[in-house]
Amino acid sequence: MTALPPPYDAQEPITECKVSMAPEIPTAVVSQRDFPMYEMPALMDGVFSHLITALEEVGIHPSGPAFSLHHRAPVSTADLEVGFPVDTPLTETLELPSGYEVVPSVLPGGRIAWRSHIGGYGGLAESWGAFTEEVGESEEQMTYPFWEFYVTPPMPDINPATLRTDLFSLLEPREV
């Protein structure tokens, strides 16, 4: 797997909010609008269980962990992209066996805030709340999109307490 550039290359979890510059990263994603939140596990499984194979069939490889990127705050539905950063931009639409279409996209470049969550996915909302508070205390302003990297791949026998998910948010530009 091609290594991602900083800040996406952190070997250890980041326990407090950091602000960094991030480059734009090409991605291959399934994009959904008004997607019901209660169907999120089916979406993740339908994408992540097939996407790597579909990409490899066209000579493209993941360059980092699976992620989800949100274009607005999810409530009962979400506008999101689910996929992988890739080593070569996707130039065609792919269809997964699960019926989802994979399209090219990007993780945005610019100023970002980020930190890590260690633990099960059920604790992500609390970590996002703490992260949002930290960003505000640092006098930064979050903006959309925001995204999660699932650094530890979920496996059936993994201890949820050891899962690492990195949280990222684009920040408003600074006035010069």
The amino acid that residue 13 corresponds to is P
pTM exceeds 0.75 for this model: yes
Query: How far is the C-alpha of 62 from the C-alpha of 59, rounded, in Å?
Result: 10
Q: How confident is the model at residue 2 (pLDDT cuts 50, 70, 90)?
A: low
Beta strand pairing status for 110-118 and 18-22? antiparallel
Segment 128-150, tens digit of pLDDT = 999 999 999 999 999 999 999 99
Grouping H, G, I as helix, E, B as strand and the rest as coil, residue 66 is: coil
Query: How far is the C-alpha of 135 from the C-alpha of 21, rounded, in Å?
Result: 15
- pLDDT value at position 154? 75
Residue 107: phi and psi, rounded to 5, are -85, 130
Average pLDDT, the chain: 94
The amino acid that residue 28 corresponds to is A
Query: How far is the C-alpha of 21 from the C-alpha of 170, rounded, in Å?
Result: 10
CB environment 133-168: b (16+ within 10 A), e (fewer): eebeeeebeeeebbbbbbbbeeeeeeeeeebbbbbb
- pLDDT value at position 175? 72
Domains of the chain plus CATH, in order, are 18-171 (3.20.80.10)
Q: How confident is the model at residue 170 (pLDDT cuts 50, 70, 90)?
A: very high
- 78: β partners: 35
Question: Is the pLDDT higher at 157 or at 102?
Answer: 102
Question: Is the pLDDT higher at 68 or at 3?
Answer: 68
